[in-house]
């Protein structure tokens, strides 16, 4: 079930081609690496590529994790703007540790669903990261109350269609957003090169084919012949095979006992770790501990270690209260695993995910995702868009809906 927002609806303007209105459906499929499509039997996705426009090189922001990238795709901002640095993080100001946070108030940049609502484009959003309420007083016309992990992917996107079909507002719904995550779960469990991936992708293809048949039926019932429907399918990141588990406590020299207390905190998410030094013994002692942790971790050749002032500028990763005092990124093939005896171990022996992400996409193109766009009734003729970027998606949706992007968002949409 989706909740209904009471926000006022403004006047519509014409779509980008000035001949009618557009409806945009955006479905995110978590963890789809581009080669998954190439090696799987996916007739619907193949049709989207043949008749639409596509990129098999959608570059994520750093880090290539689910929460930061869904936030970046929705807001057109890097982490320093939207404030979601990992799937789990600590906020010094709130003195609170968040894990897979659903609280919409943690999102610090405006997402596309409230941008659309403010400008008269009614929206349905189901299970997109941080979509469970208002941003600055505005919410999607329909949105979930919280993430329900018990729902199967097909059920989750069906809720979007059922809500659209039942909507009886005079102003039509113009933006619909949904989420599926089966390929990500399979990639983690079996690895990105496993045959289970092909089976998962074929299931996603079947789901989307059925979904689109019903979506077209609803669109024809509700919209005019001069209107257009866009379907956008994207993924947030890819996946790499993991061979080495890394104990974050041994790597940083911060004991588990310290991290569970009030002196320091080690927070990990896949291949990324943030160390927050929380000592109350004065700033000089705190800085000494930060330097010691950085030196301890930097002894190993499979890590990149940064203090906040050393972070690469193009990452856009420095947030004043949520970025750690030491930030660690592991090389491809390594992942943090708190159960590792000693510093490192074979991941298959330690147990845990065989596939992982989070790595810097500049160094690891396996982190790239997909973008498939399809338009009805006018085809796009199979345009290969080449390299595209997660930050362009917000502006692209805004262009399709003929609205202005959010303040501070990256404004260069994808062109074809």
Pairing outcome for strands 264-269 and 240-241: unpaired
Say yes or no to pLDDT of 11 above 70: no
Residue 101 lies in a domain: yes
Q: Tell me the two tokens of residue 404.
A: 């202005």
Within a domain: 355: no
DSSP tag of 112: H
Higher pLDDT, 197 or 284: 197
pLDDT of 7 over the 90 cut: no
The reply to whether 27 falls in a domain is: yes
Stretch 237-259: mean pLDDT, rounded?
93
**81 & 225 share domain:** yes
Same domain, yes or no: 233 and 275: no
Is 411 a member of any domain?
A: no
Domain boundary among 275, 309, 343: 343
What's the whole-number average pLDDT of the chain? 93
| Mean pLDDT of the 211-216 span | 98
**Which CATH number fits the domain that encloses residue 300?**
3.30.1360.180
**Model confidence over 190-204: pLDDT tens digits?**
999 999 999 999 999
Each residue's pLDDT tens digit, 124-155: 999 999 999 999 999 999 999 999 889 999 99
Q: What is the pLDDT of residue 280?
A: 67
Tell me if 350 is assigned to some domain: no
Are the beta carbons of 240 and 354 closer than 8 angstroms?
no
Q: Which domain CATH number covers 90? A: 3.40.720.10
Q: How many domains does the chain have?
A: 2
Question: 383 and 301, same structural domain?
Answer: no
Q: Tell whether 37 and 152 lie within a shared domain.
A: yes
How many other β-carbons are positioned within 10 Å of the β-carbon of residue 234? 22
- Shared-domain flag, residues 296 and 333: yes
Same domain, 56 and 191: yes
For residues 255 and 114, give the distance between their C-alpha atoms in angstroms, rounded to a whole number.
43
Residues 218, 148, single domain; the answer is yes
For the four alpha carbons of 143, 408, 92 and 258, in that order, the dihedral sign comes to positive
pLDDT digits (tens, 9 = 90+) for 261-270: 678 999 999 9
Same domain for 206 and 274?
Answer: no
Say whether both 221 and 254 belong to one domain.
no
pLDDT at 15: 36
pLDDT of residue 4: 52
In a domain, 412, yes or no: no
The CA–CA distances, whole Å, from 400 to 223, 286, 371, 392 equal 16, 50, 15, 13
Tell how many helices (H) and how many strands (E) occur in the chain.
Answer: 13, 21
pLDDT per residue as tens digits for the range 301-331: 999 999 999 999 999 999 999 999 999 999 9
Together in a domain, 130 and 221? yes
- Which range marks the domain in which residue 326 is found? 243-343
Question: Count of CB atoms within 10 A of residue 150's CB?
Answer: 6
Place of tokens 């959608």: 58
Cα three-residue angle 405-124-85, rounded to 5 degrees: 55
Instruction: Decide if 117 is inside a domain.
Output: yes
Domain identity same for 330 and 234: no
pTM of the model: 0.94
Question: Does residue 19 have a pLDDT over 90?
Answer: no
Tell whether 105 and 247 lie within a shared domain.
Answer: no
**How far, in Å, CA of 79 to CA of 366, rounded?**
21
Which DSSP state fits 7? P
Report the alpha-carbon distance of residue 375 to residue 52 in Å, rounded. 7
Q: Is residue 158 part of a domain?
A: yes
């Amino acid at each position: 079930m989706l909740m209904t927002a009471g926000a006022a609806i403004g006047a519509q303007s014409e779509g980008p081609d000035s001949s009618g209105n557009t409806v945009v459906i955006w479905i995110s499929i978590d963890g789809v690496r581009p080669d998954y499509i190439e090696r799987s039997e996916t007739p619907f996705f193949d049709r989207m590529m043949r008749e639409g426009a596509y990129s098999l090189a959608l570059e994520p922001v750093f880090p290539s994790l689910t929460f930061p990238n869904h936030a970046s795709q929705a807001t057109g901002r890097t982490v320093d703007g939207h404030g979601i640095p990992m799937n789990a993080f600590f906020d010094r100001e709130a003195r609170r540790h968040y894990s897979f946070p659903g609280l919409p108030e943690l999102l610090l940049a405006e997402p596309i669903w409230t941008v659309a609502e403010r400008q008269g484009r009614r929206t349905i959003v189901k299970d997109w990261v941080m979509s469970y309420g208002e941003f600055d007083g505005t919410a999607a016309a329909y949105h979930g109350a919280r993430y329900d992990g018990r729902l199967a992917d097909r059920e989750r996107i069906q809720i979007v269609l059922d809500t659209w079909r039942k909507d009886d507002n005079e102003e039509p719904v113009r933006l619909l957003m949904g989420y599926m995550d089966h390929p990500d779960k399979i990639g983690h469990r079996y690895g990105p090169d496993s045959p289970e991936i092909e089976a998962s992708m074929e299931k996603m293809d079947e789901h989307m084919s059925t979904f689109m048949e019903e979506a077209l039926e609803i669109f024809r019932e509700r919209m005019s012949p001069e209107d257009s429907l866009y379907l956008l399918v994207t993924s947030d990141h890819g996946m790499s095979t993991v061979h080495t588990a890394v104990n974050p406590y041994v790597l940083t020299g911060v004991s588990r006992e310290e991290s569970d207390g009030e002196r320091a905190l080690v927070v990990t998410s896949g291949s990324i770790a943030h160390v927050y030094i929380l000592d109350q013994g004065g700033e000089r002692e705190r800085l000494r501990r930060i330097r010691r942790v950085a030196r301890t971790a930097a002894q190993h050749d499979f890590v990149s270690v940064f203090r906040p002032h050393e972070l690469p500028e193009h990452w856009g990763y420095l947030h004043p209260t949520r970025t750690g005092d030491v930030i660690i990124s592991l090389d491809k093939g390594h992942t943090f695993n708190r159960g590792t005896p000693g510093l490192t171990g074979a991941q298959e022996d330690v147990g845990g995910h065989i596939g992982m992400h989070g790595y810097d996409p500049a160094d690891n193109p396996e982190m790239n995702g997909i973008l498939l766009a399809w338009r009805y009734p006018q085809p796009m003729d199979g345009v290969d868009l080449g390299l595209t970027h997660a930050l362009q998606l917000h502006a692209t949706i805004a262009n399709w809906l003929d609205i202005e992007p959010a303040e501070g968002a990256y404004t260069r949409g994808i062109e074809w």
